[in-house]
Structure 1
């Protein structure tokens, strides 16, 4: 009788020990499932220099440097997701992205879908003249002048819309290099081009050109998150952007890619 009692007691002890071991294992596995260090997914379009492009297998450009600097300043991590520009806002809506930075103009239509950061870049059209031309600084100086534009662009449309008011002649070109050369060699007095595009071209190609006057249109770029989501992240982005402006790092990033 005692023999069976001792055996039963041993079985009971083993059962309790096994149960305790199983509880500890389950508890440990639950603690290891935290989300610390998770990176924010950032949508970019790498076909838009000088803001985003790929060089030697690395993402680079104003937007890339800017969001990297903001992330470092604010202490969060990011991972880039390159895609066509048209797919970025749908990807935000589908929950595939947390942030978008892609030379995205702040518009009322987009504001219905996303929340924008403070503007980080003033884009828009600029007047561009030869490096040694000090006579043209505004539209009012264009009477009797020749304005070079590229066919099918917003610059060409702007030139047509304002031709009668400012009294200039329009000369159209099919490609940018021909348009740039026309002004450089003096056959045209001025050209119209999107500011960041021409500024980057001047910096990279050492064109004998310069931008003058104020921007002719007022587009501004912003960093986007899905409307009503990631409010805390948006606050961090704005705070980081302001600190970069205050420290001078913002200007350093711009000057790395574009010339004023």
Structure 2
């Protein structure tokens, strides 16, 4: 049965440390539909439901703190938050700086273009094109790792990534498969998926590589294991996406 989760209003923060107050300070952007977004001044989404379920299982109060996506890693590194729930992809660079829970979302990178754009049918067609990615995301590095990366002009955005693609100011944007499909479904802008997803990505919760951080990571990871085994993660995913994006067996559509 899906555990009851309570949407948090913006502005919640834990003044004391997680260890002293049993509060887990969770950073997120609040601007990445449908994972974390604000509607009628209420912070909600897949990530919010997952973290509320984690808190219930682990016996932790969850305090959400919203900020720009590009500032989340710095806030975690500085100890202003305890973790980030905002589709953080595990990368070698991040693993060198933080400790991660088990992945709770298995996804793929997706190219999105203006509807009717027949010039781009997938990632291989990005040669000679201008491509937008969210500032601070892993998608910039994924593009730079392509063998033809020097033929792509990459632009980073905090906002308006979908709008500028629809208006033709950039040729395409790259986002995770699940978010891309949801953005197209919800947006009035003329957008379309371009080809199949590429480069499997695994998203998890990062913690500081300290004794306290590792202890919190282990506690949260144990909760994720229970939530996976009792079906809660799958039910939260079905609620937001009508599919299970939490299983390692998920296949790109």
Residues 28-56 of structure 1, C-alpha deviations (whole Å, 9 max, x = no match): xxxxxxx8654121111112222111111
Q: Are residue 101 (structure 1) and residue 81 (structure 2) matched?
A: no
- Structure 2 Cα separation of the partners of residues 174 and 209 of structure 1: 13
Which secondary structure does the structure 2 equivalent of 1:112 belong to?
helix
- Structure 2 Cα separation of the partners of residues 113 and 157 of structure 1: 21
Residues 132-164 of structure 1, C-alpha deviations (whole Å, 9 max, x = no match): xxxxxx99xx9xx9xxx87445699899949xx
Larger fraction in helix: 1
Residues 71-92 of structure 1, C-alpha deviations (whole Å, 9 max, x = no match): 1111111111111222222222
| 1:199-238 map, 5 Å | 199-204=181-186, 215-228=197-210, 229-238=212-221
Contact 2:33–2:183, Cα closer than 8 Å, also in 1: no
Give the direction of change, closer, same or farther, for the CA distance of 1:174–1:202 in structure 2 (3 Å limit): closer
Counterpart of 1:43 in structure 2 is 27
The structure 2 residue matched to 1:252, chosen from 235, 240, 247, is 235
- Structure 1 Cα separation of the partners of residues 73 and 37 of structure 2: 19
Which secondary structure does the structure 1 equivalent of 2:25 belong to?
strand
Shift of 1:115: 0.8
Contact 1:43–1:81, Cα closer than 8 Å, also in 2: yes
What root-mean-square deviation, in Å, do the aligned CA atoms of Structure 1 and Structure 2 show?
4.2
Counterpart of 2:226 in structure 1 is 243
Larger fraction in strand: 2
Give the TM-score of the pair, scaled to structure 2. 0.60
Which secondary structure does the structure 2 equivalent of 1:96 belong to?
coil
Counterpart of 1:198 in structure 2 is 180
- Larger-gyration structure (1/2): 1
Give the TM-score of the pair, scaled to structure 1. 0.59
Consecutive unaligned residues in structure 2, runs of 5 or more: 1-18, 113-121, 134-139, 150-161, 243-252
